[in-house]
Amino acid sequence: MANDGSTTNGRPWADLPQELADHMRPHLDEVADDMIQEIQTRVREYDRPGDGSYSGTLRLAVERVLHFFVERVADPGHDPAPVTDFFRAIGRGEAGEGRSLDAMQTAMRVGGMVAWRRMTEGAEVLQVPPRLLGAVGEVLMEFQDELAHAAAEGYSQAKAAVAGEMQRRRKRLLDLLFADPPAAQEAIADLAAAAHWPVPRTIAAVALGRPHQDTRQPAFPPDVLADLTRRTPSLIIPDPDGPGRAKLVDRALSGTLAVVGPTVPLMEAARSIQWARKTLCLVQRGVIEAESGVIRSVEHMSTLILFQDEGLITSLADLRLAPLAHLRASQQDRLAETLLAWLQSGRNANEVAMRLHVHPQTVRYRLRQLEELFGDQLLDPDLRFDLEIVLRARALLADNAGERIIPPVREVVGDSGEVVTLRRG
């Protein structure tokens, strides 16, 4: 309601005769007593006989409302800020106590009903015209709406402030859990209590990538810690292996590129998020396929181990695949593919042919080439193990342009002491 004497329905306070205020003032205490009694009778939450402070607050609110209403009748330009601010404070207080506004709104309706009843009784004595009585009633209802709106506004502000503070605590808790080395267990327990987060026995961290076309923020269960403002948006899922938890997580993360790290004890959350982030990086590079929705690191542990130190794997490839370095890239690819299939199939040429969908004679030709290139290395189990490692890494990177593990052009010393230049054809 504006201060210029108008209401939302266009019925101005100025239309009310100002002398009505003079008729109302002598009866305010009686009306206040009636309103309080009726409110306490009909609204159980306000009937607290042993709580003097609460009864005092109720009387203060009723008296403020009545006195302001009368002053507004006497002066349509009377500033409503004091009474609306008071009701905003009431709304904030209800939110702070964890109550809804239902009881307060019921009390306001009961109070308005009592006020209207007393007004109609007085109108009969004063012989107030029906049209004027209707204007008084309309202004009274508008006034109630104004106070209810102020209380709801204060309530929403308090709820938002509490939610914001709780979210800040939860983000800070996420920081403590992801710290490496981990924060003190006591500090985590204290902050978890302040954030209303039950401390679980185990957790799994989640690293989020780009959302799909549906850009709405996922709706996570309330016990999930989430910080989507991080450079890599992250979550902590409590007790991820509990009944039904996997389906719940998959549903919440639907439409989002998400990697779930391994399940670990709470104090090892940093390890879980580190593996989740590494897995996400490999997914984004195309090394790990992302066609099956939510990705779980534990299903790709061998790949993660393989790419734990790519400088080391590149050095090993440089060493073990040196015999291929002088060949053209297409020849390298064919022979590397054949050698890996041979190592994986127990060195069975027919099975290699089936794997590669080529004729067995083609496989035998390529194997003879490999024997000429690698010689006795193919007879050494340790060297075969090294070859399988680097060839697996090479195969995983084969679909990513510019990420093929191929020995660089370099010079080596041959068996007889001569310098041999190895270069790509």
Per-residue pLDDT reduced to its tens digit, 186-222:
999 999 998 889 999 999 999 998 654 444 556 788 8
Whether 167 shows a pLDDT value over 60: the answer reads: yes
How many Å is the Cα radius of gyration of the chain?
Answer: 38
Per-residue pLDDT reduced to its tens digit, 394-403:
888 875 544 5
pLDDT of residue 366: 93
Residue 122 class from Cβ within 10 Å (0-12 exposed, 13-18 middle, 19+ buried)?
middle
Can you name the CATH fold of 14-161?
Globin-like (1.10.490)
Per-residue pLDDT reduced to its tens digit, 98-132:
778 888 888 888 888 888 888 888 777 777 787 88
Stated pTM of the model: 0.59
pLDDT of residue 411: 40
Tokens describing residue 287: 């090394």
pLDDT of residue 210: 64
Could you tell me the residue ranges of all domains in the chain?
A: 14-161, 198-300, 310-401
Per-residue pLDDT reduced to its tens digit, 284-329:
888 888 776 789 999 999 999 888 888 898 899 999 999 999 999 9
Smallest CA-to-CA distance from 158 within 98, 84, 83, 105 is with: 98
Contact 116, 138 (CB under 8 A): no
d(CA 66, CA 290): 66
Per-residue pLDDT reduced to its tens digit, 42-88:
888 777 765 556 677 788 888 888 888 888 888 888 888 888 898 89
d(CA 68, CA 74): 10
Scanning the structure block, which residue is given the tokens 């607290």? 48
pLDDT of residue 74: 86
pLDDT of residue 49: 66
256-260 vs 202-211, strand pairing mode: antiparallel
Smallest CA-to-CA distance from 278 within 294, 259, 293 is with: 259
The stretch 267-286 carries a mean pLDDT of 93
Whether 421 shows a pLDDT value over 90: the answer reads: no
pLDDT of residue 12: 58
pLDDT of residue 290: 78
pLDDT-above-90 percentage for the chain: 31
Smallest CA-to-CA distance from 27 within 119, 97, 108 is with: 119
> How many C-beta atoms surround the C-beta of residue 375 within 10 A?
10
Please give the mean pLDDT across all residues of the chain. 82
